[in-house]
Amino acid sequence: MFKTVNKKKNTNIFLKDKILRGVTGYKRIRFIEGYIDSETVDVTARLTLSYARCPLCGMKSHSVHSTYERQLMDLPIHGKRMNIRLLARKFRCRNLKCRQIVFSEQPSEIAERYSRKTIVAKSKLQAILIEMSATKGAVIVSSMGLSQSASTCLRLIKSIEIKVDKASIKHICIDDFAYRKGTKYGTIIIDADTRKTIALISSRETDHVTAALKAYPNVQTVSRDRSSAYANAIKQGIPEAAQIADKFHLVKNCGEHMEAQLKKSFNQIKDELSKQISEPLPPPVSSYPTMNNPEPVQLSRRPPSDKQRYLFEQVQKLNKENYSEREIVRHLHISRCLVRKYLSLNEPQGHKIAFRNDYSLFLPIVQNGIHNKARISEIYRNTVNAGLCCSYIAFLNWMRTVFPEYKTFKGKATRTSRVDSTGYDRTKSVLKALSSYKLNIYIANPEWGINKKTGECSKENIQMNEIIQSSGTLLKLREFCVSFKAVIAGNSITDIVAWIEKYKNESFAHLRMDIPVDSRPPIPVILGHLVRDFVRRYN
């Protein structure tokens, strides 16, 4: 069956034609010779037909013009790469009316035109690489004897032709994906029934997506995200199809409306929580008392600097002398916007004050420290113990802005006992509650902060649940959100309709259902009605 020959001082195994045809299964091909070494299997082959057909006119030709070699990579044999050296022939076309003079024979049973891989090797690579990234796939296929670079693996994936019956598809899903995040995006279309990809579009622009969707005329429902580009593409490409939002975007949409409602009801929630505290809430930021002025003052802006006062006076002076805005800009070398601003004011204003922390909650502690002539660092420690979360530099800047005349004396006279901060634990809880983002997390996810293995609750979870239980508004919002997520996860039409009827006339403006739902549609489109009735959905 085989014989051993010596070649370049290495032992190689010579394979006969029958063995190679039995292993590969190729027909109409004759293997001239084959050698096996430690890493590869090299074979030489040619087609058995004595003629070839012209690709233009289809006439047979027996007139051989020349011969050339094609290198093809086949499936590995026991981990060894198999290389086929195909001796392809060129023929002369004897049809005088044909434009083709010389053409090459094509081994259609082995490889495609211009391909360097056999059909079976290419299909095997595509089946493996479609399940993983190009870089990871290059490492795996190389270890199998099909050595390929990451770029070649990516080209193989892009060359996959998806053959589907577009007229039979009725339900599809559409979404975007990133070629490179923040730079280039594409669009993927999936058959919702078979869960298989049916199209890849190299863009997510409305025009390109519209052209692709027109190829599916019988589509009844389209599941998409909240992109307006996809909404317009569906309206233009398949206007009769119902647009549906998937569960992920439904829950996300609910969370966004929940956060908007929290911001709108913030004052009401604050009033409800203030009743649970032993002491009333301190005055807001805009009414801090200063050292010399016991009356509340507006601190939305800092006092104007000397430069701001000078520019304001100069602008007003030049304006009275009938200088135009452009002449004032050239004379003072300032922007026209600043000139217009000073002309609209009766007195100069300083820069706006922006504090991220609500220092008003700790104003009694600060006033007590000022009364005892404590150091600012000591006042800062007491406010931190009471629940303030900020750096010392930020607190020092706030003190200099609100109490600019407060200065402690140096020496032992400034060393006083720490200010008693008892009775402010509940205020600390309220401080944490004064964040719509954090409230939204604990309203939508009651289990947030609970260890799944031990069931132990974090301190923040206990504290936030106590706050939510203390507010009727927060309890209603939690009931709304939790019931919505349960209904969406249940896939029951009856539960969905009952939930919408319950909250159809909700008092919360951002959560109200205004349009009644028809319970007759089938399950695939009932979520579409739910999304369409959800107030301020996408449009």
Average pLDDT over residues 460-480: 82
Whether pLDDT at 287 is above 80: no
pLDDT recorded at residue 62: 92
- The tens digit of pLDDT for each residue in 246-261 reads 788 888 888 888 888 8
Report DSSP state, residue 280.
Answer: P
Percent of the chain surpassing pLDDT 90 = 18
Per-residue pLDDT at 4: 40
pLDDT on residue 188: 92
**Which segments of 73-227 does DSSP mark as H helices, in order?**
119-129, 134-143, 150-158, 206-213
Please say whether the beta carbons of 51 and 10 come within 8 A.
no
Q: Looking at residues 469-487, what average pLDDT do you find?
A: 84
For tokens 């053959």, the residue is 163
Q: How confident is the model at residue 528 (pLDDT cuts 50, 70, 90)?
A: very low
Question: Residue 71's pLDDT is what?
Answer: 92
pLDDT at 271: 76
Least confident of 77-81, 180-184, 405-409, 523-527: 523-527
Would you state the pLDDT for residue 408?
Answer: 63
Give me the mean pLDDT over the 386-405 stretch: 82
| Banded model confidence at residue 511, pLDDT cuts 50, 70, 90 | low
Distance CA 406, CA 425 (A): 27
Instruction: Tell me how crowded residue 528 is: count the other CB atoms within 10 A of its CB.
Output: 18
Q: Using one digit for the tens of pLDDT, what is the confidence trace for 454-464?
A: 888 887 788 78
pLDDT classification of 354: cutoffs 50, 70, 90 = low
- Largest distance between two CA atoms of the chain: 117
Please tell me which residue, 202 or 285, carries the higher pLDDT value.
Answer: 202
The alpha-carbon radius of gyration of the chain (Å, integer) is: 39
In one-letter notation, the amino acid at residue 97 is K
Residues 196-230: tens digit of each pLDDT: 888 888 888 999 999 999 989 889 999 888 778 89
Residue 440: name the closest of 478, 389, 483 by CA: 478
* Mean pLDDT computed over 23-29: 83
Side-chain half-sphere CA neighbours of 295 within 13 A: 2
Predicted local confidence at residue 306, as pLDDT? 84
Q: Say what the pLDDT of residue 503 is.
A: 77
pLDDT of residue 87: 92
Q: Coil, strand, or helix at residue 40? A: strand
Residue with tokens 């589907």: 164
* Region of poorest pLDDT, from 82-91, 360-369, 423-432, 498-507: 423-432
**Whole-number mean pLDDT of the chain?**
78
> Would you state the structure tokens that stand for residue 261, as one six-digit string?
């409602």
DSSP-assigned beta bridge partners for residue 223: 173, 244
pLDDT for res 430: 52
Q: How confident is residue 78, by pLDDT bands cut at 50, 70 and 90?
A: confident
Out of 3.30.420.10, 1.10.10.10, 3.40.50.1000, 3.40.50.300, the CATH code matching 166-245 is 3.30.420.10
- What is the mean pLDDT of the segment spanning 317-333? 89
Say which range, 89-98, 156-165, 310-319, has the weakest mean pLDDT.
156-165
Q: What is the pLDDT of residues 120-130, one digit of tens each?
A: 999 999 999 98
Asked whether the predicted pLDDT for residue 486 surpasses 50, the reply is yes
**Looking at residue 453, what is its pLDDT?**
82
For residue 71, the cross-strand partners are 85
For range 383-392, the mean pLDDT: 84
Confidence of residue 353 (pLDDT cuts 50, 70, 90): low
Taking Cα atoms as reference points, which of 414, 380, 419, 386 lies closest to residue 398?
A: 380
Which pLDDT tens digit goes with each residue over 39-57? 888 889 999 888 999 999 9
pLDDT band of 472, cuts 50, 70, 90? confident
Tokens encoding 391:
């750096």
Mean pLDDT of 134-154: 90
Contact residues for 273 (Cβ-Cβ < 8 A; gap 6+): 430, 433, 467, 470, 471
- Span of 191-200, 254-263, 365-374, 512-521 with lowest mean pLDDT: 512-521
Supply the pLDDT for residue 537: 32
Question: Encoding tokens for residue 61?
Answer: 């030709």
pLDDT score for 298: 40
Residues for the chain: how many in total? 539
DSSP code for 321? T
Q: Check whether 521 has a pLDDT greater than 70.
A: no
| Placement of tokens 């050698």 in the chain | 35
Pairwise CA distance, residues 261 & 441, whole Å: 14
pLDDT at 466: 81
- Residue 509 pLDDT grade (very low, low, confident, very high; cuts 50, 70, 90): low
